[in-house]
Structure 1
Amino acid sequence: MSSRRPELILVHEPEKACFERLVADGYAPRRAAEVSSYLAQSTDLAPEFDALAAACDRRGLAFAAVELEGVARVLTEADPATTLVWTLTDGIAYFRGGAAPALARLNGLRTIGADDSLFALCQDKFRSGAVLGALGLPAPQAGLARNGNWLVEPPASAAGWFVKPNRLGAKIGIWPDSRVADLGHALELSRRVFAAYRDDVVVQPYVAGRNVRASFLGLTPETGVEALGVAFVESGADFQTMADSLALYGDTGEAAKTAGHYAEPELAPVADSQPVADARIRVIAERLISGLGLRDVFSIDLRVEADDTVHLIEFEVCPGLPCFDFRDYCRQQWALGLADAMAETAASRLRP
């Protein structure tokens, strides 16, 4: 039997490393900064690594925060009997965090979160949408365009369409005109996205409703969908743009706080005003757990209409743990701060 102390390894990809790699690959610095901003959870959680280490220590665990560049060596040397790997930042295109759970599996190590195949799937919105549809889930159908050309034409829509990057790792529309009334405009947006980010765009029928975030952390392996936190996210806008995202997280978010421009969206439990929709969302989450393989930690983004119609927009296997909504979820559901919630989740998997 191994004599090593059980250890939680948190793998993360820093914004700076991603930015430098993208610039070296020919991206304009402004665009590289925008893309790397999606890794802001690494920036935001780094100041709490000491608190996380202390929370782990109180539970008899060692803790190591490992940057992605050095993770292959660390995981090769880790003891499968005592090691748990938690990947903080995902990615298969601009970001590379999806390699971490695959490397963990290669080395026989246990992981927190979904298996590595879902890390790849969730980062490709067109493919993941097709899978969600095959599972019978209420995800909008989508077209796919690349640099002004249709790869797959979108379905007709009397309400217009919504255009978003396919692999950039977000549900957002990059610009305020991402909701379009004609498909010519959608193709123009695809040219702009391709020029700026080298990405395809997903073009979905616009769906009405309020934005909802469903968050999940399985504090123990037995935790079920009853622990899902389902909340309206009220920002005052119909959808989030790149500028909105930049103002919430990472160094740009800190600058917004300093300047007095930072405003977190308001959260309101869906069950308080639309219990039928809340119940439907929990059924969707259960289907994602049983049919798709989500587990341990994830989030789901949805739109909910006034008549309780629910639209599933996307799922994330690496939710923004240090973000305002996930911290609120940990407080409301588990009465724990983020560091203790993460440490307790890890300890429950590593206890004999």
Structure 2
Amino acid sequence: MSKPTLILVYETEAACRQRLKADGFAEQHALEISYYLAQSTDLAPEFPDIERTCAARGISFLPVELDDAPTVLAGRPAATTLVWTLTDGIAYFRGGAAPALARLNGLPTLGADDSLFALCQDKFRSGAVLSVLGLPTPPAGLARDGEWLVRPPASAAGWFVKPNRLGAKIGIWPDSHCGDLDHALALSRRVHDAYRDAVVVQPYVEGRNVRASFLGVRPDAGPEALGIFFVDSGTDFQTMDDSMALYGDTGAAAIAEGRYTEPELIAVADSQPEAAVHIRSIAAMLMCALGLRDVFSMDFRVETDNTVHLIEFEICPGLPCFDFRSYCRSRWGMSLAEAMAQTAASRFER
């Protein structure tokens, strides 16, 4: 039997940017969109370290660019192959094709099945599913280019406006927390003009930002293995500029020029244990009802009275980002490369 092989499939910033420019996106907007794939840029220098840590566990490591994946995955033996999708996407990005390609070739995947790649990348549909499950996610309206598709509910605290399919939970601009629905519609026009996307419009919720990260380093890892941290950056929410300071070349430049300081991570359980318990129960529900497994993250807002708001979940979290590295160190006592290799080994054991 051939040696167990972990195949890490990823889309590059350059490939995405070239495609977007060919499709008529402005240079700056193509740069902003493709930035979301910068985790593949940041992780690439660590491929030799991942290869070494995998080899120590009897596993071969094979990083594969997305465009080469159809050829590489075809005909591989299912018993000794595991496919890990690093970069996702169903609209601007194409990473969601990787788990589907694995299924087409009868290969097992690390992470959620391919149906969840489509769900979590569409915030409006994802929120509807989370709401049906009875989870505490803010209700949402949907607007496209100045027109309401679904009107949002009333909100005394104003509304938060974010792209429906682009990237994470960011608001793009500082005025994404707005006080009237005419402003929300104006923002929907700006988002459509720049990124050709609809916007989700949700009642603004108070609280501190919380990131909950999970990696199934051990075969029996469950919600207790979640790392739950306040992410205190000094701002209420992340804008496009803030987000671009996290990864890749733009992030490195921001740090070098003193324009960015890593947010502080503080364990939620240290000051609000009740909220941490609630978050673990939400993770348990998502693992059971939706099939989250192996690797994922969730974003919350937590109020001082322990009220928890589930904002969204991700099945391709930013592995090389500071928060996920910190989680690997604090929860598992491992570097990112070691944690990735051990997670693959655990899956092969199963």
Shorter-chain TM range is over 0.9
Equivalent position to 1:135, from 133, 136, 146: 133
Residue in structure 2 matched with residue 287 of structure 1 by the alignment? 285
1:155-194 maps to which residues of 2 (within 5 A)? 155-194=153-192
Say which SS state the counterpart of residue 51 (structure 1) adopts: helix
Q: Which amino acid aligns with 1:109?
A: L
Structure 2 counterpart of 1:89, which letter? T
SS of the aligned residue for 1:77 comes to: coil
**Matched residue type, 1:138:** P
Aligned residue identity for 2:165: R
Match for 2:327: what amino acid? Y
2 CA distance for matches of 1:276 and 1:19?
A: 44
Which ranges of structure 1 fall in alignment gaps of 5 or more residues? Answer: none
* CA distance in 1: counterparts of 2:175 and 2:247, whole angstroms: 22
1:72 equivalent to 2:50? Answer no
Matches within 5 A, 1:96-175: 96-175=94-173
Q: Equivalents in 2 of 1:140, 1:182: separation in Å?
A: 17
Q: Could you tell me which amino acid in structure 1 is paired with residue 87 of structure 2? A: T
Matches of residues 1-352 of structure 1 in structure 2 within 5 Å? 3-351=1-349
- The residue identity in structure 2 corresponding to 1:52 is I
What is the RMSD of the two structures over their aligned residues, measured on CA atoms? 0.8
CA distance in structure 1 between the aligned counterparts of 2:273 and 2:340, rounded to whole angstroms = 29
Helix, strand or coil at the partner of 1:240: coil
Equivalents in 1 of 2:191, 2:253: separation in Å?
26
Determine the C-alpha separation between the residues in 2 that align with 1:114 and 1:246: 26
Runs of 4+ off more than 6 Å: none
1:67-87 deviation per Cα after TM superposition (whole angstroms, max 9, x unaligned): 000101111132111000000
Q: Distance in 2 between matches of 1:84 and 1:280?
A: 33
Q: 1:69 is aligned with what amino acid?
A: D
Distance 2:194 2:211 in 1: 28
Separation of aligned partners in 2, 1:299 and 1:251: 24
Structure 2 Cα separation of the partners of residues 87 and 180 of structure 1 = 36
The count of corresponding residues between Structure 1 and Structure 2 is: 350
Amino acid at match of 1:259: E
SS in 2 for 1:50: helix
Aligned-residue offset at 1:348 = 1.3
**1:136-165 deviations in Å (ceiling 9; x for gaps):** 000000000000000000001011000000
**Partner secondary structure for residue 74 of structure 2:** helix
CA shift at 1:258, angstroms? 2.2
Separation in 2, partners of 1:150, 1:256: 37
1:262: how far off? 2.8
Over residues 5-36 of structure 1, what are the superposed CA-to-partner deviations in whole Å (9 max), with x where a residue is unaligned?
Answer: 10000000000100000000000010000000
Residues of 2 paired with 1:261 and 1:169: CA distance?
Answer: 22
For 2:197 and 2:139, the matched residues in 1 are separated by: 19
For the residue of structure 2 that corresponds to 1:211, the secondary structure is strand
TM-score computed with the length of structure 2 as normaliser: 0.99
TM-superposed CA distance for 1:350, in Å, is 1.6
- Per-residue deviation, 1:130: 0.1
Provide the C-alpha distance between the structure 1 equivalents of 2:45 and 2:84, rounded to a whole number of angstroms. 18
- The alignment partner of 1:44 has SS state of helix
Q: How far apart are 1:292 and its partner, in Å?
A: 1.2
**Structure 1 residue 257: Cα displacement:** 2.2
Structure 1 counterpart of 2:226, one-letter code: L
Offset, 1:248: 1.5
Equivalent position amino acid for 2:38 in 1: A
Secondary structure, counterpart of 2:125 in structure 1: helix
Residue 310 of structure 2: SS of its match in structure 1? Answer: strand
> What is the rounded CA distance, in whole Å, between the counterparts of 1:124 and 1:260 in structure 2?
34
Runs of at least 5 residues in structure 2 that lack an aligned partner in the other structure: none
Distance 2:31 2:343 in 1: 33
